[in-house]
Structure 1
Amino acid sequence: MTMSRTTQFGFYLLFGAASNSAAAAGYALIEQSITGLGRAFSGSAAVADDASTIFFNPAGMTNLSRKEMNMGLNLIAPRAEFSDRGSNVNGTPLTGGDGSNAGELAAVPNFYYAHPLNDKTVVGIGVGAPFGLVTDYGDSWQGRYHAIRSDLLTLNINPSIAFKVTEKLSLGFGVNLQYIDLELSQAANFGSFLGNSQGNDGRVKVTADDWSWGYNLGMTYQFTEATRMGLSYRSKITHDLTGEGEFRIPENVNTQATAAGFQDGNVGGRVTLPESASIALVHQLNSQWSVMADASWTRWSRFEELQINSDVSRLNTLKEEDWENSMRYGLGVEYKANDRWSWRAGVAYDETPIPNAQRRTPRIPDSDRTWLALGASYHYSDNIILDAAYTHIFMKDSSIEDTFTSGTQTYELSGKYKSSVDIVGVQLRWLFD
């Protein structure tokens, strides 16, 4: 995916929604519900306490007895700080700084509407951003030949329907219409035209977009009045991105670089966003307390390589990735204090799909992460509910040994990342007859 808007000299650009702007592992954004955020999304395929179940498990809509509209906003504040451990080009240290904090504050909104047609059938629609990334290191950092800016936006429109097959079993189905827009940039080293290895940088920027579609399925089963299980599945979505690759060339080498084939051109690349599955349980201990848990799987092994194709040879490139499938585990609790206030908390462990330091890149310096979350709901009236949540994500320090060769130059970005993410979410729920 990265490559779909990528590269200069045959450099590769990692497409991801992850770097550290994505709050879930890989390049996914799980921030599709504020009530879910408050329990670290534990049990989301089974809880079905508001219309955001459209994303996590459409079958859960049969638990909603009234029409409901949700409007939520997540503010995601990531930190990704690089420290150098011998980065070089052909053995000569790479010049520049550490890039400071590469993360940027991102706003991730979502919208849901659920409408019961009768006591057995509910229809709904959800709009959100399941993948996303904004990260910027600046023009003068050491890894500028690997990455400068990554800006990924997705928009997912998810019409859904749910049926109560029996008093215990419900099934749900949804279609996902998904738009993706990508901008990636990195420095282009034109110093070789002047006989030096660094210090005469240009830039290459790739932009591309596409519409595609997939689907999601779900099931809930009510074992007892107090215990419910949920199973959910989201399909892969394949995007055939098309766009443009543009070089910014320093004036003093413009003639040589153009003659050498550094020209703007069309680019294209295929990206498959992975499928995922989840199993979840929720159990009501008594009239005030309930607990929930889940385990989720994502097929990141689909991310085997990044390839960009272009009518300009300098923009063609291939990069092996070899990501691994990953798991996420969550455990949460909710307390209904009275008719006005509800409180929730959760913890989750999210595995990274990146297998080692050699497969880690500055666009996606992902690592294993642990979530700690708190949330609350206030019933302002019979029709209006206000939700808020806060989550801190602790990320394991990670090493990077990212190497590529362009012509006679071999670039190695070697170092460590210290990363974390803070998320604040607010939501308005409007229930009506």
Structure 2
Amino acid sequence: MEFVMGLRNLTIKNIAYISATCVLPMAPFANAGGLMLWEIGTPTLGTASAGWAAMPEDASTAYTNPAGTVWRQGIEMRAAGQAMYGDIGFSEGGLTNVSGNDGGNPVGWFPGGGAFVAGRLADNLGWGVALAGNFGLGLDYDDSWAGRRFAQESVLIGMSAIPSLSWKVHPCLSVGAGLNIMGFYFKYRSEPRAGLIPEDARFKYRDTDIGYGGNLGIIYRPVPETTFGLTYTSKVEADFSDRVTLDNFGPLFEPLVERFDGTKTEIDLNVPATVTASLQQKLTAATTIYANLAWQDWTEYAGVGLEIDNPDQTSLRVNRGYKDTGHFALGVRHAVSRGPLQDWSLSTGFAYDSSMASEAQVTADTPTWQTFRFGLGAGRELCPGVHLDIGYTLVWSGDIDIDQRGRPPFNPRLQGTYKDTALHFFGASVQFEL
């Protein structure tokens, strides 16, 4: 029995590792109002996320609102791809007490996207499958940067596979539910001070896991011109448990190294629950407006913080104590009927996300702040049943101040500003009938 249970655990661990490794090219690397993005390569790039939960005519509703799948006429698939460029540069503020460089741009270019299928089993019963990721961050600073005491590399990725069913309970109302299966990958590395010797020490941790949650949705269309969407996504728990690696620590840290090096360290993480309400309203036959209101429960997240700065410490985990965030978005799409852009639909939008961190909670491994989104998009039917959409979203956080301090006896400090912080998303997707 012990052998069977061990084999089962090993298999699950391997599946999680393979899943997380395979989906990394599809998952976002980000810093934003929280660590959950609205960008998955779909047409909402052009509206800056507005209309997220109220687009049942889009196959990606299998991801954004499972209640929308029953509104499809046949089986439809949307394949989406996007490229993200993160511009996150640190500028030292004069009070940093660790020598080193500015860390370079720890994000740079990264690919992403998703695949979504939606259809009907019967007139009042729909189904969907979605594969995409919109949770995580990834930072890899240059060697010998001034903040290496706190973080040299920090990667946290969550990728979701969501099968779902929907039921049209009335000609104007549907409900849906999905199972959110999330594969996680977490890697952390820093270079604490190695006691009284001049070299840097090395602190490493890496693990994978699979977590489960639920998605619930409602679509209400009282008249053909008006669509309301409401979704709830439950929290998803990840339980990391791997061996910490500590290298090159001096004699002063011998008790800590004996306590933690090679021992299994458990880290619990909660992907926050979210509630999103969206509107799609046709103003004319050619013009449609979209809107979002959303809430995300970041107080449950707490943050994955790992630090070593004191030889007497008994825990490696730091609870950041983040706060919940709010979101608002407004967008418009217009179908052009004449001129060089005839048969194209053009879109634009604006969104705002509040920050999960106060100024005192900004850290080198999670430099997050409030964000403003600006979207542009275009789409057209290429041929009957095949529709192309392209889009761009700028996610702007501006200047993010940081003043992170460690504990005695070494008191490391990183003080300065991440200047003109921005993420650029370029995406394209194709929807077609199967």
Paired with 1:23 and 1:386, the residues of 2 have a C-alpha distance of 29
- Contact 2:70–2:127 under 8 Å retained in 1: no
Alpha-carbon deviations, 1:158-214, whole Å to 9, x = none? 001111110111101101011101111111211x333xxxx4112211101111100
Paired with 1:72 and 1:244, the residues of 2 have a C-alpha distance of 37
Aligned to 1:379: 381
Paired with 1:353 and 1:347, the residues of 2 have a C-alpha distance of 20
Aligned to 2:211: 212
Aligned to 2:348: 345
The alpha-carbon deviation at position 271 of structure 1 amounts to: 0.6
TM-score, reference length from structure 2: 0.86
Aligned to 2:59: 51
- Contact 2:269–2:303 under 8 Å retained in 1: no
Identify the range of structure 1 (126-135 vs 157-166) with the bigger mean alpha-carbon deviation. Answer: 126-135
Paired with 1:28 and 1:81, the residues of 2 have a C-alpha distance of 21
Paired with 1:21 and 1:34, the residues of 2 have a C-alpha distance of 17
- After TM superposition, which residue ranges in structure 1, 4 or more long, deviate above 4 angstroms? 255-260, 305-309, 312-315
State how 1:27-426 maps to structure 2 within 5 Å: 27-88=35-96, 93-190=97-194, 192-194=195-197, 199-249=198-248, 261=257, 263-304=261-302, 316-338=315-337, 340-356=343-359, 358-405=360-407, 408-418=409-419, 419-426=421-428
Cα distance, 1:395–1:24 mapped onto 2, change above 3 Å: closer
Amino acid corresponding to residue 45 of structure 2 in structure 1: L
The alpha-carbon deviation at position 305 of structure 1 amounts to: 6.0
Aligned to 1:15: none
Alpha-carbon deviations, 1:256-285, whole Å to 9, x = none? 766762633322111111000011111111
Paired with 2:225 and 2:83, the residues of 1 have a C-alpha distance of 34
- Contact 1:71–1:427 under 8 Å retained in 2: yes
- Contact 1:275–1:298 under 8 Å retained in 2: yes
Cα distance, 1:364–1:259 mapped onto 2, change above 3 Å: closer
Cα distance, 1:428–1:398 mapped onto 2, change above 3 Å: same
Paired with 2:210 and 2:424, the residues of 1 have a C-alpha distance of 30
Cα distance, 1:260–1:347 mapped onto 2, change above 3 Å: closer
Amino acid corresponding to residue 354 of structure 1 in structure 2: A
Task: Structure 1 unaligned segments of length 5 or more: list them.
Answer: 1-19
Paired with 1:350 and 1:78, the residues of 2 have a C-alpha distance of 18
Cα distance, 1:266–1:429 mapped onto 2, change above 3 Å: same
Alpha-carbon deviations, 1:117-143, whole Å to 9, x = none? 122111010011121222111221110
Paired with 1:108 and 1:223, the residues of 2 have a C-alpha distance of 36
Paired with 1:118 and 1:171, the residues of 2 have a C-alpha distance of 15
Amino acid corresponding to residue 38 of structure 1 in structure 2: G
Paired with 2:44 and 2:31, the residues of 1 have a C-alpha distance of 14
The alpha-carbon deviation at position 23 of structure 1 amounts to: 5.7
Cα distance, 1:27–1:307 mapped onto 2, change above 3 Å: closer
Aligned to 1:12: none
Identity %, equivalent residues:
25
Aligned to 1:17: none
Identify the range of structure 1 (258-267 vs 271-280) with the bigger mean alpha-carbon deviation. Answer: 258-267
Task: Structure 2 unaligned segments of length 5 or more: list them.
Answer: 1-27
Cα distance, 1:315–1:138 mapped onto 2, change above 3 Å: farther
- Contact 1:48–1:61 under 8 Å retained in 2: yes
Paired with 2:293 and 2:395, the residues of 1 have a C-alpha distance of 18
Cα distance, 1:319–1:243 mapped onto 2, change above 3 Å: same
Amino acid corresponding to residue 264 of structure 2 in structure 1: N
Paired with 2:387 and 2:314, the residues of 1 have a C-alpha distance of 51
Paired with 2:244 and 2:286, the residues of 1 have a C-alpha distance of 57
- Contact 2:353–2:372 under 8 Å retained in 1: yes
Paired with 2:167 and 2:256, the residues of 1 have a C-alpha distance of 62
Paired with 1:122 and 1:386, the residues of 2 have a C-alpha distance of 24
Cα distance, 1:315–1:187 mapped onto 2, change above 3 Å: farther
- Contact 1:21–1:77 under 8 Å retained in 2: no
Amino acid corresponding to residue 240 of structure 1 in structure 2: D
Aligned to 1:6: none
Aligned to 2:34: 26
The alpha-carbon deviation at position 70 of structure 1 amounts to: 1.3
Paired with 2:312 and 2:119, the residues of 1 have a C-alpha distance of 53
Identify the range of structure 1 (78-87 vs 135-144) with the bigger mean alpha-carbon deviation. Answer: 78-87
The alpha-carbon deviation at position 378 of structure 1 amounts to: 2.5
Paired with 1:420 and 1:84, the residues of 2 have a C-alpha distance of 18
The alpha-carbon deviation at position 431 of structure 1 amounts to: 1.4
CA RMSD of aligned residues (A): 2.4
